[in-house]
Structures are given as structure tokens and as C-alpha cells.
Amino acid sequence: MSDNRFGKLFTVTTFGESHGPAIGCVIDGCPPGLAIDASEFAADLARRATGKSRHTSQRREEDAVEILSGVYQGLTTGTPIALLIRNTDARSKDYDAIAAQFRPGHADYTYHHKYGIRDPRGGGRSSARETTMRVAAGVIAKKWLAGKYGIAVHACVNQVGTLRAEMPAVIDWSVVEANPFFWPDAAQVPELEALLDATRKSGDSLGARVLTVATGVPVGWGQPIYGKLDAELGAAMLSINAVKGVEFGAGFAAVEQPGSRHRDLIGADGFHSNHAGGILGGISSGQDITCQVAFKPTSSLRLPGESLDADGKAVEVVTTGRHDPCVGLRAPPICEAMMALTLMDLALRHRAQCGDVPAQTPRVPAGRN
């Protein structure tokens, strides 16, 4: 019951504080024989990294991953894979002023009362810095899922504040990757930039919505009753910093759909719609898995906020560290990683009980996604 571990069979245990010596993870349960090289982590880590545009935190992390174990002559051996990243650009002095204060909207208050002690430097353990290791571990999961099943996992930002993306009928992921906001409609990017600039200048921050899609997932993954695909994936997403909600397929909109519209009919050409988000009874249906996540606006603001210090005295908190005006803009690689880690874990759990070969291969294609 290691609470810093994700997954049950493909497990990722992360460690490290934002401004400590290092962050890292131990991946246990990886199938042997998978080709992994330390250079493969760079691309996704760069997608997640801060400092890549003026719209994200100006902390510059090298994020060079060292593989400490579990890989021999370029192949995984089935033993634990430990990954390490040294923290290099940690300016802890920025946090001296607030070491004994509770920044509003932050975990300072709860860590203090839970543990009686906390590392205040950069948020310590509660910093989003931890998600770096999820992305690194996700690289391995993505590679295995792609190689063995042809699964692809993508994510985009489809809302920032009140600005909603014009969603194309089919998302062009190259468009998403071509702008620093993971935004699916190139035409809206200038508008989004203007919004972010205005927000940054005002000292305020914005929330965001992220859509994550997995294609190619075979029918049958997910472990009812309490290991349902949506339950596990929901927990995965909700474990990401700043997430306040998660939904699958039609999600909250399903409340307003009549049943005759919501249920996805099936024809000889497969499903006719995908309001279920590719999940029925907690098990993948073969359609695309679609999941949306709500990110709250960053609580670290230059605008002063009323709060308390550890002695219970009223203070006014101003956050002076380097922070993102919209944390959701860096979230797509993290959401992809959590989707990939969840799918890989459930793939192994399915295989344990039901074997490598699917019990029944569907006689029809999965249909519309």
C-alpha cells in the first residue's frame, strides 16, 4: 500500500521533492525484452518542461534521465527500472519568505497539519515537479503499448478559461504539437496567446480542460468491479496536481442526454457513436478511450491573498517564485502518461487472469470513435 506508487502490476513508485537533490522513480513489473534507451525520454520531457515559452514557468530543468537499473544491453530484463533526474535549477531562496505561511489554494496547509512538518522549498513533494517522473515512466508504457498493440495516446487542451477550442471532426495531432499550447485549432492560437498575455500581466491565472484519447485499445481491458478502466483512469487523472474533475465520453453532458441518444448502438460496421468513451461496464469496448480533465487555475499568484501562518496569525501571501499562469498548458504529456500507465497496468492484469489471447475476438470493427 505504498501511496507513492501507481499501478498494481506495472507499478511506478516516485520519489523526490521539488528542490531536493533529485527526483526519480522505480518501475516494477515491466515485461522483459523491451528496447529502452536513456535518450528516448527527452522528447516527452521536453513537451512537459517549463521554460519553453513565456507562458510557462521560467524554471529551466535539464531533466536528463539516468537509467540506474533494469536495462541490460539496451533491453529491459524484467527487474526494476530505476530512473533518476538530478534537480539542477532549484532556487530555494524564493521560498524562504513563505516557509511558515500557508499559500492559499496550496497543499501547504494540509501537509503541515497532516505530517506536522513539510519541506516548503518549491512546494516540496506536492510540487508538479513530481509529474516529470510520470512522463518518463509513461514513455516506457507508450512504447510497449504501441509496439505490442498499436495503441497511440494523445492529448490536447480544448479549453482555457472561457475560451473553448473549435474542435475539428477529427483531431489533427500534428496541429496540436505545432503550438506550445497543445491546442487543436491553429486559427485560435493568437487569441489564446493574447488571453494568456493579459492574464500574466494581471497577475492572475486560468484553468484549462484537457482531452486525452487512446486509439487501438483492444476490447476487454478493465477489471470489474473496483478495478474498472474508468475508475482506475479516473484515479490516475485525479492524482495529477490541480485536477478538479474527470469525465469519460459524454461525461457530465450524459446527464442531459436521453437514454435513447446516449446508448451507443452497434451495427455490422461497429458502434455508431461513442458517448461511452470506449468503456462499457468498466471494460474497454475497442473504441477510442476518451477522457476529459479539469485543471484549476494556478493558485500561485503575484496578487496578494489573505491567509495564515503556522502560528495561526493572519498574513498576506504573495507568491514570488516562477510559476505558470495556466498549469493546464503543460498537462497534456502528463495526462497521456497517466493514460498509458493505466492501460499498461490493466493490460497486464487482464493477461494475468485471461491470458495473452483474447477470450473472444470481436467479429466487427469497433466503429466510430
User: Is there a binding annotation on residue 164?
Assistant: no
286: exposed, middle or buried (C-beta count within 10 Å: 0-12, 13-18, 19+)? buried
C-alpha cell at 293: 480533465
User: Is there a binding annotation on residue 286?
Assistant: no
Q: What angle do CA 210, 57, 11 make, to 5 degrees?
A: 55
Q: Please say which residue, 174 or 314, places its beta carbon nearer to a copy of itself.
A: 314
Which alpha helices (H) appear in the chain, and where do they start and end?
42-48, 108-115, 131-149, 173-177, 189-202, 229-238, 259-262, 332-354
Q: Please say which residue, 3 or 174, places its beta carbon nearer to a copy of itself.
A: 3
Minimum Å gap between C-beta 174 and a copy of itself is: 25
User: Is there a binding annotation on residue 54?
Assistant: yes
Checking phi first, is residue 180 left (phi over 0); if not, alpha (psi -120 to 50) or beta? alpha
Q: Please say which residue, 178 or 304, places its beta carbon nearer to a copy of itself.
A: 304
Q: Please say which residue, 120 or 180, places its beta carbon nearer to a copy of itself.
A: 120
Minimum Å gap between C-beta 54 and a copy of itself is: 18
User: Is there a binding annotation on residue 126?
Assistant: yes
Query: Grid coordinates 498574513 are at which residue?
Result: 315
DSSP 238-301: HTSTTEEEEEETTGGGGGGS-HHHHS--EETTEES--TTTTEETTEE-SS-EEEEEEEPPPS--
User: Is there a binding annotation on residue 127?
Assistant: yes
Q: Please say which residue, 75 or 178, places its beta carbon nearer to a copy of itself.
A: 75
User: Is there a binding annotation on residue 297?
Assistant: yes
Minimum Å gap between C-beta 213 and a copy of itself is: 16
User: Is there a binding annotation on residue 110?
Assistant: no
User: Do residues 298 and 205 touch, judged by C-beta distance below 8 A?
Assistant: yes
Could you give the CA distance from residue 330 to residue 47 in angstroms, rounded to a whole number? 7
Minimum Å gap between C-beta 332 and a copy of itself is: 15
Minimum Å gap between C-beta 208 and a copy of itself is: 6
- Specify binding-site residues for NADP(+): 48, 54
- Specify binding-site residues for FMN: 125-127, 241-242, 281, 296-300, 322
- Specify binding-site residues: 48, 54, 125-127, 241-242, 281, 296-300, 322
